[in-house]
Homo-oligomer: A and B are copies of this chain.
């Protein structure tokens, strides 16, 4: 037999099947399958024959066929409902993905990315999650009453959520697994730090108040300033622009403020600019602390930001790990429970 090495022609060369491997190795399909899948209980001689056939043919299993029988896709969905504003001004998103990617690919799982931009995308994503393409889902940036967790539950898809999904009551009965950082504790640290600097008129710029990461940080602020003047609180939207607008409001309402806790670095950068145009020196006149410690923002503002660090990549990794664990032991009574990761203060020059 003339056994030519693969002549690689572009176009329709049919992929080798397990059948062809078996034939070449002179064994049955079942035996070939055993070898390909870790091969316990196959005589060494046959093992080698099959392995050689695999190599020579350049065989790779057809995973649709495999999925059809194993009911395992080795793929998980990552659904991002992040409003575009943040998605594109913050490396937040990329860092999460990296953490997830690392953890998943270590377990040979793939990541299917689903971006939600408009209302109609929910339907598309819902269909996809119901379609059985993926073994689980990682959900990000849920808004109040987001339908996604319920969709996933309905089709029995194991799910882990990024950030505490906090709409009140309604969903509290069912157990949602999530990973979040210690937003409240982090905010307390920030305010405590400003206090230790002797500041007494400490304002805060919050994120959008329909997200728990925003409200939790605000709660942390209030923990230390329980009877604060409401005029010292302004709502932003996690973007530099929004932070700048909020800062301008605060200055108008309380020109005597001497410190600001901004609930994200991006907002802090916008606030910084407004402070500058208003002639306030940072940190001499107004000290400012951010949140996130996104290097490419915090280290590059003028002056560099003191901020609350959260390990975003680690959060991504944790989410993936939780999900994989859940997949490994489906009907586990001790289901994986939610995780809160710590935050810490990173001092630079703004406070």
Contact = CB atoms under 8 A, between A and B. Distances in A.
A9 B156 contact: yes
B300 A269 contact: yes
Contacts of A295: 88-89
Nearest to A266: B296
A62 B72 contact: no
Interface stretch (A129-137, A207-215, A221-229, A255-263): A129-137
Nearest to A136: B7
B9 A330 contact: yes
A90 to B, nearest CB: 8
Contacts of A62: 68, 131-132
Interface stretch (A10-18, A34-42, A183-191): A10-18
A45 interface: no
**Interface residues on chain A, size class:** 35 or more
A1 interface: no
Contact of A156 (B11, B93, B131): B11
Given A7-B158, A12-B155, A331-B11, A130 B60 contact: yes
Contacts of A84: 98
Residue from A84, A98, A127, A155 having most chain B Cβ neighbours under 10 A: A155
Contacts of A5: 71
A261 B112 CA distance: 38
A127 B61 CA distance: 10
A132 B89 contact: no
Given A68-B62, A111-B113, A273-B302, A7 B135 contact: yes
A63 interface: yes
Interface in A146-165: 153-158
B327 A7 contact: yes
Nearest to A15: B132
A200 interface: no
B135 A12 contact: no
Contacts of A131: 60-63
A141 interface: no
Contact of A158 (B9, B97, B113, B121): B9
A240 interface: yes
Given A68-B64, A105-B121, A9 B113 contact: no
A166 B266 CA distance: 36
Given A113-B113, A266-B296, 4 more contacts: A7-B71, A7-B157, A60-B132, A105-B121
In order of increasing CB-CB distance, the 4 nearest A-B pairs are A12-B156, A89-B296, A64-B67, A88-B91
29 contacts: A6-B71, A7-B72, A7-B73, A8-B71, A8-B330, A9-B158, A11-B330, A60-B155, A61-B131, A62-B68, A62-B132, A63-B132, A64-B64, A64-B132, A64-B133, A65-B68, A75-B133, A88-B94, A93-B94, A97-B115, A101-B115, A105-B121, A105-B124, A110-B114, A110-B128, A240-B296, A273-B302, A276-B302, A302-B302
